[in-house]
Amino acid sequence: DQQVKQNSPSLSVQEGRISILNCDYTNSMFDYFLWYKKYPAEGPTFLISISSIKDKNEDGRFTVFLNKSAKHLSLHIVPSQPGDSAVYFCAGLLHGGSQGNLIFGKGTKLSVKP
Amino acid sequence: DVKVTQSSRYLVKRTGEKVFLECVQDMDHENMFWYRQDPGLGLRLIYFSYDVKMKEKGDIPEGYSVSREKKERFSLILESASTNQTSMYLCASSLNRGANYGYTFGSGTRLTVV
């Protein structure tokens, strides 16, 4: 059973516009949520995180929103740039989890067109 | 900055060969992980380790084994490589169980089994 779901495998956005990447989860015990960005032939790199007790965290062009009642989070990128084109993974962090700390979604491939 | 180094970026091996993928981290992290990434399937956990000589199975351990003789090194072993093990392999480490900044990933090893 997937505990973290990214239902959109891909997203295409025009440069300068907003990119919104969505993530749903089923496990209420996640303590943090993290977003990773991955370019082809490279390892994922940490982008931004949010505590489960917060509803928003902002870092430059990147903002993550958490709606606990809906078990939904989203990553907003404003304005989008061609260099943002990558696969974005959403992950839930589970303290004391039996299969490692992080549970990943399957990723969303973002394409930002010039 | 934490560095996670994977010994090879690209490998080509023959079916039936025994394959070793090496991963070294330089920040004294307790936890180390091996994932594989395949299109449409996201990041799938193969094995992980919370301490030296300790290992636990992840979601897809079949056909793999691991070795952690030293804290900084975590090796993934394909006992008899098969074509369905062609994939991108990613090693990661984290400071402790429950740290809220997640994992640091290596750059990945693209393995092709022919």
DSSP 8-state secondary structure symbol assigned to residue B97: T
Q: Do B98 and A95 touch (CB under 8 A)?
A: yes
What percent of chain B has a predicted confidence (pLDDT) above 70? Answer: 93
Q: For A85-99, what is each residue's pLDDT tens digit?
A: 999 999 998 765 444
Please report which helix (H) or strand (E) contains residue A8, including its range: none
DSSP B13-52: E-TT--EEEEEEESS--SEEEEEEEETTTEEEEEEEESST
pLDDT over 50 (residue A60): yes
Chain A interface disruption, residue of B56, B66, B100, most A CBs within 10 A: B100
Residues of A in contact with B31 (CB under 8 A): 100-101
SS3 at position B84: helix
Per CB-CB distance under 8 Å, the chain A contacts of B97 are: 95-96, 101
Instruction: For residues A51-56, give the mean pLDDT.
Output: 94
Average pLDDT over residues A34-61: 93
Chain A, residues 87-106, CB within 8 A of chain B, namely 89, 91, 93, 95-96, 98-102, 104-106
Element (H, E) at B80: none
Q: Is the peptide bond before A44 cis (omega within 30 degrees of 0)?
A: no
Least confident of A7-16, A73-82, A98-107: A98-107
Q: How confident is the model at residue B101 (pLDDT cuts 50, 70, 90)?
A: low
List pLDDT tens digits, range B53-73. Answer: 889 998 899 999 999 999 999
User: pLDDT at position A103, please?
Assistant: 87
State how beta strands A19-25 and A4-5 pair.
Answer: antiparallel
- Encode pLDDT of B31-41 as tens digits: 899 999 998 88
Section A76-85 average pLDDT: 97
Answer with the residue of higher pLDDT: B7 or A2.
Answer: B7
* pLDDT confidence of residue B51: 86
Residue A108 has pLDDT above 90, yes or no: yes
What is residue A99's predicted lDDT score, i.e. its pLDDT? 46
Is the pLDDT assigned to residue A100 strictly greater than 60?
no
Alpha carbon of B46: minimum distance to chain A alpha carbons (Å): 10
- pLDDT at residue B100 tops 60: no
Please give, rounded to a whole number of angstroms, the shortest distance from the CA of B39 to a CA of chain A.
9
pLDDT at position B49 is 92
Rounded mean pLDDT, A48-58:
94
Contacts 24+ apart (CB under 8 A), B69-72: B71/B28, B71/B29, B71/B30, B72/B24, B72/B25, B72/B26, B72/B28
Give exposure, A40-77, as e/b (b: 16+ Cβ within 10 Å): eebbbeebbbbebeeeeeeeeebbbbbeeeeeebbbbb
